[in-house]
Amino acid sequence: MDYTLTILETHYDLLDGAVFTPTGLEGGAYLLCGLSVTATETRLLVREVIPVKKEHYLKRAPDRLSIDSASYAAIAKRAAATRTAVIFVHSHPGGLAGFSPQDNREEPKLMEFLATRCPAVPHGSLVLTPGSLGHGRIWAQGGWAPLKRIRAIGRRFRFVNDLDQIPLPDFFDRQIRAFGPDIQKLLQRLHIGVVGVGGTGSPLVEQLTRLGVGTISEFDRDPLEDSNVTRVYGSRIADKGVNKTKVSEEHVNQIGLGTVVRAYPEHITDEETAKRLRECDVVFGCTDKQTPRGILVQLALQYYIPVFDLGIKIDAEDETLRGVVGRVTTLMPGEACLFCRGRILAEIIALESLSPEEWQLRADEHYAPELQTEDPAVITFTTAVAAQAVSELLHRLTGFMGEERRTTEVLMLFHEPQIRTNRTPPDPTCLCSQQELWGVGDRDTFLGLFWPVPVSTV
């Protein structure tokens, strides 16, 4: 089991200020964390940063820290009440990376105390040096296990990994000249989800593969149709009827750059399939249905997994192209979601659960929009939107578009042509403004949603 930690950039800034103020003295804080537990990873999601109160410091020095036990007791009580894990954080202002002998002597006592008061969840510690995301460890079965990865999500996506042992094949040389070896190694460590492997999803997979992304999980229940071949990369006429994820998996394997594809030939409206999204670092939404988009909104909020949602609309009348608009929207806590922006509507999500016959009956009764025929689609435009989405990811990793850029939506007006950007504030009445949902992680009902019972179990 690997242990990892994900923290929002806003929480990290608060933490950094708490443990490094005043300058030159060690400081402490606690992180209360939700949990995401899969077969191979326990992911701790920072929900709250609680600085140690001034009155609870017994001693503060450049190389030593002592805290009143009443501080630990109050945090343990709060963690037990909220079913959250506790990470104790302290600073090494002198720059000592890793844990000191004093830390190794004292911290096991704190961990045992927390394990007694809150036995159902893991607890751990994190040490920060100036300018770093820190070094962490988890107390597990009476000993220490390392935090394998630390993620900070915000204007930038920052990751702490052990990258030293990752080889850099020669075929990535041109990219390394652009972004440097550490970004290339990071790409090889990333696990990215792609929901929908059609017109925008397949060029996304193509680009992520050739960038050197290590693992791609693909989700799509639909088989390849004749009309898909003009837009789905790696597909052939002979592949008609084959599931799109299988077509893509075979194509990626034939490229041979080492990317591992996990193909899930189901829609994420299936609960067990949707749970596999928790394994990803980043997700791209490439579906034209509103129900899966609503699921991805909840995923970004409750699991701190950034989502890039893609859309494209081609306006054509009488076989004449009148306009083409592409969209890439970045979803994460603190930013406007697709509901805020009017990109998805609860009413349409409800209608999508109906059969075509039921939908048409509602339409006849004027309770639903008319069922639409297949929208126009052209590979040139779907590929361009996918490229913009990958560019947004690269910016979050590198900052190449400028340190001040905080855009969360890009609109591509191909027919004008121009690109517009915006950062719409969240609607305070929207679910994305309910901070009690942020980082909640696993709970009794996945994502707090109603999931249909699989037919096989009925």
Strand-strand pairing, 191-195 and 85-91: unpaired
Q: Which pLDDT score, from 0 to 100, does residue 457 have?
A: 37
Q: Which of 22-26, 160-164, 304-308 has the lowest mean pLDDT?
A: 160-164
Q: Give ranges for CATH 3.40.50.720 in the chain.
A: 170-457
Q: For residue range 273-312, list pLDDT tens digits in order.
A: 999 999 999 999 999 899 999 999 999 999 999 999 999 9
Q: Residue 36: which residues within 8 A CB-CB, separation 6 or more?
A: 42, 43, 45, 278, 303, 441, 442
Q: For residue range 98-121, list pLDDT tens digits in order.
A: 899 999 999 999 999 999 999 989
For CA atoms 284, 385, 387, 206, the dihedral sign is positive
Q: Where are the beta strands (DSSP E) in 55-122?
A: 57-61, 64-67, 85-91
> How many of the other CB atoms lie within 10 Å of CB of 227?
10
Grouping H, G, I as helix, E, B as strand and the rest as coil, residue 322 is strand
Q: Give ranges for CATH 3.40.140.10 in the chain.
A: 2-153
**CA separation (Å) from 418 to 22, 313, 341, 393, 407?**
48, 15, 21, 20, 16
Q: For residue range 408-427, list pLDDT tens digits in order.
A: 999 999 999 899 999 999 99
**In contact, 176 and 184? CB cutoff 8 Å:** yes
**In contact, 279 and 191? CB cutoff 8 Å:** yes
Grouping H, G, I as helix, E, B as strand and the rest as coil, residue 209 is helix
Strand partners, 49: 31
Q: Is the pLDDT of residue 36 over 70?
A: yes
93: cis peptide before it, omega within 30°? no
Q: For residue range 332-353, list pLDDT tens digits in order.
A: 999 999 999 999 988 888 888 7
> How many of the other CB atoms lie within 10 Å of CB of 115?
19
Q: Residue 450: which residues within 8 A CB-CB, separation 6 or more?
A: none
DSSP structural state of residue 53: P
Q: What is the mean pLDDT of residues 165-188?
A: 92
Residue 452 burial (10 A CB sphere; 0-12, 13-18, 19+): exposed
Q: For residue range 51-83, list pLDDT tens digits in order.
A: 999 999 999 999 899 999 999 999 999 999 999
Cα 196 from Cα 199, distance rounded (Å)? 9
Q: CA nearest 249: which of 219, 277, 274? A: 219
**In contact, 415 and 324? CB cutoff 8 Å:** yes
> Which segments of 232-376 does DSSP mark as H helices, in order?
244-255, 271-275, 290-303, 346-352, 356-364
Grouping H, G, I as helix, E, B as strand and the rest as coil, residue 128 is strand
For CA atoms 75, 80, 84, 86, the dihedral sign is positive
pTM for this structure?
A: 0.94
> How many of the other CB atoms lie within 10 Å of CB of 395?
18
Q: Give the Cα-Cα-Cα angle 328, 439, 160 (nearest 5 degrees).
A: 75
Grouping H, G, I as helix, E, B as strand and the rest as coil, residue 116 is helix
335 phi, psi to nearest 5 deg: -120, 155
Q: CA nearest 65: which of 30, 95, 27? A: 27
Cα 252 from Cα 217, distance rounded (Å)? 12
Q: Is the pLDDT of residue 367 over 70?
A: no
Identify the CATH homologous superfamily for domain 2-153: Cytidine Deaminase, domain 2 (3.40.140.10)
Is CATH 1.10.10.10 what the domain over 170-457 is classified as, yes or no?
no
Is residue 141 very low, low, confident or very high in pLDDT (cuts 50, 70, 90)? confident
State the amino acid at position 111 in one-letter form: M
Distance of CA 167 to the CA centre of its chain: 25
CA atoms within 13 A on the CB side of 433: 10
When the pLDDT of each residue in the chain is averaged and rounded to a whole number, the result is: 92
Q: Is the pLDDT of residue 456 over 50?
A: no
Q: Which pLDDT score, from 0 to 100, does residue 377 have?
A: 87
243 phi, psi to nearest 5 deg: -60, 140
